[in-house]
């Protein structure tokens, strides 16, 4: 849910509930840069992300730090593409890259209850 926080800013409270009952919540802040372009920040997105919004979805690129071994973490660059298939369903595909090499792709379908 997005809540206005000034004339060009929003606070997004994102809640995801998984089939096993686990709930993941996070808060993001968004700033409208121009029509269709937002800058989003969150604790789990160092450096934030630029989001491009279109009529059928949105895309954004960001970096995350992933634990590899003990305290060692490596940066992954993530390109996230979200497409709406109807009013309650979206298809989210995230491509993960390390040093420019694709190391994984995650595709998920999310549905609002």
Sequence ranges of the domains in the chain: 2-111
Helix (H, G, I), strand (E, B), or coil: what is residue 7? coil
pLDDT in tens, 23-63: 888 888 999 999 999 999 888 787 889 999 999 999 999 88
Task: Give Cα separations from 47 to 27, 41, 102, 104, 110 (angstroms).
Answer: 15, 7, 21, 21, 26
What string of H, E and C letters represents the secondary structure of 47-106?
EEEEEEEECCEEEEEEEEEEEEECCEEEEEEEEEEEEEEECCEEEEEEEEEECCEEEEEE
* pTM more than 0.75: no
Mean pLDDT, rounded, of the chain: 87
- The percent of residues above 90 in pLDDT, for the chain, comes to 45
């Amino acid at each position: 849910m997005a809540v206005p926080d000034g004339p060009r800013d929003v606070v997004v409270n994102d809640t995801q509930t998984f089939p096993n009952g686990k709930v993941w919540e996070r808060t993001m802040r968004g700033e409208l840069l121009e029509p269709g372009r937002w800058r989003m920040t969150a604790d789990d997105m160092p450096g934030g992300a630029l989001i491009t919004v279109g009529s059928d979805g949105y895309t954004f690129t960001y970096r995350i730090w992933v634990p590899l071994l003990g305290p060692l973490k490596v940066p992954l660059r993530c390109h996230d593409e979200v497409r709406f298939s109807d009013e309650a369903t979206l298809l989210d595909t995230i491509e993960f890259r390390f040093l420019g090499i694709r190391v994984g792709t995650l595709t998920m379908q999310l549905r609002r209850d």
